[in-house]
A = this chain, B = another copy of it.
Amino acid sequence: MDKDDSNNIYEIVGQKFAEYLTVKNYRKTPERYAILNLIYAEQRHFDIDSLSEALTKCNFRVSRGTLYNTLQLLLDCNLVLKHQFGKNTSVYERAYNNDFHHHLLCTNCGKIQNYNDENLDSILKNEKIKYFTPTHYNLNIYGLCSVCAKKLKTKNS
């Protein structure tokens, strides 16, 4: 997340996307690049609504259909990840230059945080499962973020 790298990131993911579009014979439209750039400008998790709003703020209105369409392309070329955290709405995040991590989900305010534990990861990666060939996994930890934990403690005392 080095500031000096940020321009590089745009270039790199832009180029990766371009390669993918070329190989697939898809067109390089301004909408597609606007969406990609915005995703890599925002650091955190987002859903369709927040992405749409953010685009509107940049004076770049993109229709719902195109948003979903483009997100699917970005999923296909591994530039975006998609999550379902028990709500109906899907949550997305950028995939490039974003190390593997788990998620902490506050059941009070809905805040989503990344969580890393290399020790835990190495254990998970080395799990031997009978009659099953794992490709990937996700670990979601539900509970209270520090802000909500404090709030609720005060309320109850």
Q: Which residues of A contact B (CB under 8 A)?
A: 82, 84-88, 104, 106-107, 113, 115, 117, 120, 123-124, 127, 129, 131-146, 149
Contacts and interface: CB of A to CB of B under 8 A. Distances in A.
6 contacts: A127-B141, A132-B146, A134-B143, A136-B142, A137-B141, A138-B142
Contact of A143 (B117, B132, B144): B132
Chain multiplicity (copies): 2
Contact of A145 (B104, B113, B131): B131
A13 to B, nearest CB: 24
Given A135-B142, A137-B139, 19 more contacts: A84-B85, A84-B86, A84-B87, A106-B132, A113-B132, A120-B123, A120-B124, A123-B123, A127-B141, A129-B141, A131-B145, A132-B145, A132-B146, A133-B146, A134-B141, A134-B142, A134-B143, A138-B139, A139-B139
